[in-house]
């Protein structure tokens, strides 16, 4: 059993109680006291993961990324594994306490960190690869004879994106150090329960377009899932901390965020449809809003970018 084997690896073979925090094909995570062991995807690029872990522990990212407890990965059941200090996550029962300002400031600090001098070679940010995986998952759902309402809109919205954003071509050369999969679940307080907020999960960390890290809240805002006040708390904190994406304070952020926000809208909607089809259920209200956003994107003229809500 992978979780038990992870717990034994984390505690150097000693018997110890553990709690499963996540158990998915792309990541199984267990907590053993003050440590968290993660089994990464079996097909993970181990060389790139090793670089990402060294970056997480580099002094230049102190106070931004959670550093690993061990500098190198191990292997459990054929999967690469890593060990991290436990941090207290965002409380889903208290959305009013969500650390939007802290998320903005941490992203700005990450984006301002020069990649020169970091352990390398720094791999590319895996945001577009995650979008490609979401579209592939939706396609596999369709091959099973399930064709949930909204697939056409999602596919049309995906076609409006450049090939590199869909993971079908090389991304632009160079770029900024990015997290690659920013959402509130990627922040923890360490040491728990009241330490400083830090970013976790470096599986997708790398060089890329910094707007991608702002894209999920931007997509939620455009879809109506995130209220204006909360969006501005996040955006203003990012800009005030010197974040290079989203333009200058007080300006219109949408010209810089539009492409990435559309990409994350497609990714979120594709995963929502695939999960709903697999579970034989209807989309919930939030999922439906993301699919509806894809329909609006698909209806735009080819030379017209989507607009944020009024």
The ranges of the chain annotated as CATH 3.30.200.20 are 1-85
Q: In CATH, which of 3.40.50.1970, 3.40.50.300, 3.40.50.2300, 3.30.200.20 is domain 1-85?
A: 3.30.200.20
Cα separation of 215 and 14, whole Å? Answer: 43
Strands (E) in the chain, as ranges, are 19-24, 27-32, 35-40, 74-76, 79-85, 88-89, 176-178, 187-190, 196-199, 206-208
The pLDDT value recorded for residue 300 is 85
Q: Which of 168, 164, 187, 177 is nearest to 259 (CA)?
A: 164
The ranges of the chain annotated as CATH 3.90.1200.10 are 88-310
Q: Is residue 89 within a helix (H) or strand (E), and if so which, with residue range?
A: strand 88-89
pTM over cut 0.75: yes
Cα separation of 37 and 50, whole Å? Answer: 15
Q: Tens digit of pLDDT per residue, the chain (310 long)?
A: 899 999 999 988 877 899 999 998 889 999 999 999 999 999 999 999 999 999 999 999 999 999 999 999 999 999 999 999 999 999 989 988 999 999 999 999 999 999 999 999 999 999 999 999 999 999 988 665 555 678 999 999 999 999 999 999 998 877 899 999 999 999 999 999 999 999 999 999 999 999 999 999 999 999 999 999 999 999 999 999 999 999 998 999 999 999 999 999 999 999 999 999 888 889 999 999 999 999 999 998 765 444 445 4
CB atoms within 10 A of CB 19: 12
Q: Which fold has domain 88-310?
A: Aminoglycoside 3'-phosphotransferase; Chain: A, domain 2 (3.90.1200)
């Amino acid at each position: 059993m992978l979780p038990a084997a992870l717990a034994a690896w984390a505690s150097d073979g000693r018997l110890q109680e553990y709690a499963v925090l996540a158990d998915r094909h792309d990541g199984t995570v267990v907590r053993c006291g003050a440590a968290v062991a993660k089994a990464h995807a079996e097909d993970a690029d181990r060389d790139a993961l090793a670089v990402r872990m060294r970056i997480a522990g580099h002094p230049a990212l102190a106070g931004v990324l959670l550093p690993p407890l061990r500098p190198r990965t191990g292997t459990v059941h054929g999967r690469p594994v890593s060990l991290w200090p436990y941090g207290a996550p965002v409380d889903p029962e208290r959305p009013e306490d969500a650390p939007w300002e802290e998320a903005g400031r941490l992203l700005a600090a990450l984006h301002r960190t020069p990649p020169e001098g970091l352990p390398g070679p720094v791999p590319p940010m895996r945001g577009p690869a995650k979008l490609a995986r979401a579209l592939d998952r939706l396609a596999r759902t369709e091959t099973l004879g399930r064709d949930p309402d909204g697939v056409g809109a999602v596919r049309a919205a995906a076609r409006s994106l450049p090939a590199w954003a869909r993971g079908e071509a090389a991304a632009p050369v160079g770029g900024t150090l990015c997290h690659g999969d920013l959402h509130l679940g990627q922040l923890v307080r360490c040491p728990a329960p009241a330490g400083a907020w830090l970013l976790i999960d470096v599986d997708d960390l790398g060089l890329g377009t910094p707007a991608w890290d702002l894209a999920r809240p931007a997509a939620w805002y455009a879809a109506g899932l995130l209220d204006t006040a909360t969006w501005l708390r996040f955006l203003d904190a990012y800009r005030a901390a010197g974040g290079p994406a989203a333009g200058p304070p007080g300006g219109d952020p949408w010209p810089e965020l539009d492409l990435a926000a559309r990409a994350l809208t497609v990714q979120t909607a594709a995963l929502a449809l695939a999960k709903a089809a697999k579970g034989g259920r209807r989309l919930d209200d939030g999922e439906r809003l993301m699919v509806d956003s894809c329909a609006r994107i698909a209806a735009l003229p080819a030379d017209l970018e989507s607009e944020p809500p009024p």
